[in-house]
Chain A
């Protein structure tokens, strides 16, 4: 009996020692991985510092500030019409959309409202910049997972939209077209027909991307169930736009607030997804491009006639007061808190940009994920550096 007992005990000790040896051999050492500042997954120069344990991230922190231009300070020495030229450069892929909330805030303080035709054209251009912005996201998504084809499709079709924006405003990327009280100009001849053809092309592009990317097995296995952000976490970090809707929050500022724009005059749908993972965020954006093309199509049919500019004085002085206006921009909620002291320029402008909040969740979202997933999570959160740093 004792012999067996001893043997058992010895076997047990030997097994323990073998396990310990294996553990010693596999012991991992922490390392710090620097991603960026230059990396294809970052639209601009964002640096991510990740501390790894083997293949797992135990701590990650984005380091922003490589592009900080101090717009909040610069607005204080400019007049209201001059500010739009600056804020164009915040989210540079959807520039026109940046101008709108600021102009609306100034109009609110002045008690001016743009004529219906201007509101309509503003909404059309707003949606066109969303399409230009998000279609590039959809193409870029593939590159970050090793699929090169979609990005060529995206650049090809985005060019059509940029041509439209250029035809209407004169600038491909920085229109600087929105004015207090309306728009700089009316639409050019032939814009409506051309836009209709382009919207068809863009819907086609969405179908192509859906087949190429969203139906792809590799894409799905790399995004489904990865980077899940629950609803309450998304809300307390202030995630907005498609990132929030992909976590199941049915909230879209285009639909849910009364604002002098034309979104309430057309029939469209807000897409949500219950999963909250990377796939959901990408999928919601794909549906939003489709919805935007429908919004534009319907708006083209119903442009009212009339002037595009309300009566405003030549020298704009905004009365004392404070106003907050935010709109549903391509990246999420973008808002301006404008403080006026009755001057020609604002006293203080707080720029609340969507990517700043969307990226502040990165330390939370990257904790515990594997290294290849860093890229897909960052890509699906979708940020633009100018929108983080301002």
Chain B
């Protein structure tokens, strides 16, 4: 009655979303060669990826196109965590992990990407904006001159990912002590709670529902 459609490719069945397609065409025309890639998921959402140099210009342009509601600015660290889910047994050598970077929608070339969202209040259309952050400089322009609300979001992103927002008036830590070292939301920053006390699931293994015949040997 309520089938799982995730296994089948349903893109052919979904009717075209003309509103979002015209919108993304309008945005791409206004931004010109700043747009690297764009994506429309019909009746769902829009994504664009812009070049790092045009990060500030993107905000200005989108604001003039009616996207004047500031939703958030954040970042994504695309590197897979070297600690996995923090469920490794500390007495055994760390398992091999696939550390290749798999980028999400609209692709990307760097480990860090900034992610922001703006909304058009009168139509409720929102757009997710991404830009690659150069690994060497770890710096991108600040949006505070266009959206005053970006101030706190950029402080948080700087604190958590170490991405510097050039032109930010007051880049200070929000949550952590001033002398704290490291950037907690980076994937290579370990979740200390799982280091101090190993995950109890290592010794307390119950068979997963569904694979009764395959008993885990490690359970004691």
Partners in one complex: yes
Interfacial residues, chain A to chain B (CB-CB below 8 A): 64-65, 68, 70, 72-74, 76-77, 108-115, 181, 232-233, 235-238, 249, 251, 253, 256-258, 307, 310-315, 319-324, 326, 333, 335, 337, 339, 341, 345, 348, 350, 352, 356-357, 360-361, 364, 389
Nearest A residue to B69, CB-CB: A235
Contacts of B194 in A (CB 8 A): 77
Secondary structure dominating the interface of B: loop
Interface assignment of B158: CB less than 8 Å from any CB of chain A: no
Point out the residues of chain A lying under 8 angstroms from B117, CB to CB. Answer: 324, 337, 352
By the criterion CB–CB under 8 Å, are B121 and A352 in contact?
A: no
Asked if B85 CB lies within 8 Å of chain A CBs, one says: yes
- Say whether A235 contacts B121, CB under 8 Å: yes
Residues of chain B contacted by A356 (CB below 8 angstroms):
152-153
User: How far apart are the CA atoms of A74 and B86 in the complex, in Å?
Assistant: 10
Q: Are B81 and A324 in contact (CB under 8 A)?
A: no
- The docked-state distance in angstroms from the alpha carbon of A73 to that of B128 is 21
Contacts of A333 in B (CB 8 A): 71
CA distance A260 to B46 in the complex (A): 19
With contact pairs A111-B6, A315-B209 given, residues A238 and B71 touching in the complex (Cβ less than 8 Å):
yes
Q: How far is the CA of A251 from the CA of B110 in the complex (A)?
A: 37
Contact pattern, B 24-66, Cβ under 8 Å of A = 1, otherwise 0:
0000000000000000000111010000000000000000000
User: What would 10 more interface pairs be, CB under 8 Å, given A112-B4, A324-B45, A326-B71?
Assistant: A68-B175, A73-B184, A73-B191, A108-B44, A113-B2, A238-B147, A313-B4, A322-B104, A352-B72, A357-B149
Asked whether B71 lies within 8 Å of A65 as measured between CB atoms, the reply is no
Min CB–CB distance B196 → chain A (angstroms): 14
Nearest Cβ distance between residue B205 and chain A, in whole angstroms? 15
Q: CB-CB contacts of B107-146 with A at 8 A, as 1s and 0s?
A: 0000000010100011010101000000000000000001
Compute how far the CA of A319 lies from the CA of B2 in the bound complex, rounded to whole angstroms: 18
Does B171 reach chain A (CB closer than 8 Å)?
no
Q: Is the CB–CB distance between A236 and B121 below 8 Å?
A: no
Which of A251, A256, A352 contacts B71 (CB under 8 A)? A352
CA distance A323 to B3 in the complex (A): 20
- CA distance in complex: A361, B152 (Å): 10
B12 at the A/B interface (Cβ < 8 Å)?
A: no
A381 to chain B, nearest CB (A): 13
The 9 closest A-B pairs by CB, nearest first: A65-B175, A237-B149, A310-B2, A111-B5, A68-B175, A238-B70, A256-B124, A360-B152, A111-B6
Q: How far is the CA of A77 from the CA of B199 in the complex (A)?
A: 11
B102 interfacial by beta-carbon distance below 8 Å = yes
Assess the A322–B124 pair: CB atoms within 8 A.
no
**Chain A residues positioned under 8 Å from B6 (CB to CB):** 109-112, 319
A339 vs B75: C-alpha distance in the bound complex, in angstroms? 11
Q: Is the CB of A337 within 8 A of B128?
A: yes
In contact, B148 and A364 (Cβ under 8 angstroms):
yes
Least CB distance, B103 to chain A, in whole angstroms: 10
